[in-house]
Amino acid sequence: MLSRMIHRFWQDERAAIAMETAIITPVLAWCYISSFVFFDAFRTYASSVKATYAIADVISRQTNTLRTRDVDGYSSLLENMVRNDGGVRLRVSQIYYDATTDSHCVEWSDATNGEAVLFTANLVDMGELLPTMVHAERLILVQSFIPYRPAFNTGLAPITFTNFTFTRPRYAGQIRFETQNTC
């Protein structure tokens, strides 16, 4: 009797579609939301790279003395370009290379939103990232730090996208800054 009831229960397929739907719907919803989150994170990263290159290019074409308020303006522009609602940090520095001593020097650096300025001592940690330079060459280093917080909790943790871009001054040998250091 019991075995016949179990056999009949196993053969009954009247609620199979409803059960399959109840099981698979949460999985499909998670996959859809996860794909949205990962696509949005990739979009934010890609736009942060492009925006950092654009800011670096604008600064490299500068012919007037660069000021702190200009760097603050570039930070606001970067924030709008990546469509971020706050927390975007930007650091702009000019690096000089002396081939006689084979050393790099930070001539000036400015940062926004609590980011630390770059000092010559910090360049030792960046040694492998620095490009090959000729004697007395100057490069503009633009670093951006864009925080990303996923809209939904699907396993992707909050992250800060860090971009590191070098460019040479276009129209002059160097970009002047309001508080220029000497190397």
Mean pLDDT of 122-151: 90
Q: Could you report the per-residue pLDDT of 46-80, keeping only the tens digit for each?
A: 999 999 999 999 999 998 899 999 999 999 999 99
More confident residue, 172 or 109: 109
What residues have CB less than 8 Å from 173, skipping those under 6 apart?
138
Residue 183 binned pLDDT confidence (cut-offs 50, 70, 90): low
- The answer to whether residues 156 and 143 touch, using CB atoms and an 8 Å cutoff, is no
Token pair, residue 23, equals 């099981």
Q: Which residues pair with 164 in a beta bridge?
A: 143
Total-model pTM: 0.82
- The answer to whether residues 162 and 78 touch, using CB atoms and an 8 Å cutoff, is no
Give me the pLDDT at residue 46, please: 96
Using the predicted structure, report yes or no on whether residue 15 has a pLDDT greater than 70: no
* Structural domain spans, the chain: 16-167
Mean pLDDT (the chain) is: 90
- Exposure string for 15-30, b = 16+ CB within 10 A, e = fewer: eeeeeeeeeeeeeeee
Q: Which of 24-28, 47-51, 77-81, 169-173 has the lowest mean pLDDT?
A: 169-173
Helix or strand holding residue 29 (H, E):
helix 16-60
Using the predicted structure, report yes or no on whether residue 12 has a pLDDT greater than 70: yes
Residue 124 binned pLDDT confidence (cut-offs 50, 70, 90): confident
- Residues of the chain with pLDDT > 70, as a percent, come to 97
Residue 127 binned pLDDT confidence (cut-offs 50, 70, 90): confident
Q: Could you report the per-residue pLDDT of 138-160, keeping only the tens digit for each?
A: 999 999 999 999 989 888 899 99
CA pair distance 41, 54, nearest whole angstrom: 20
Token pair, residue 83, equals 């469509």
- The answer to whether residues 183 and 120 touch, using CB atoms and an 8 Å cutoff, is yes
Residue 178 binned pLDDT confidence (cut-offs 50, 70, 90): confident
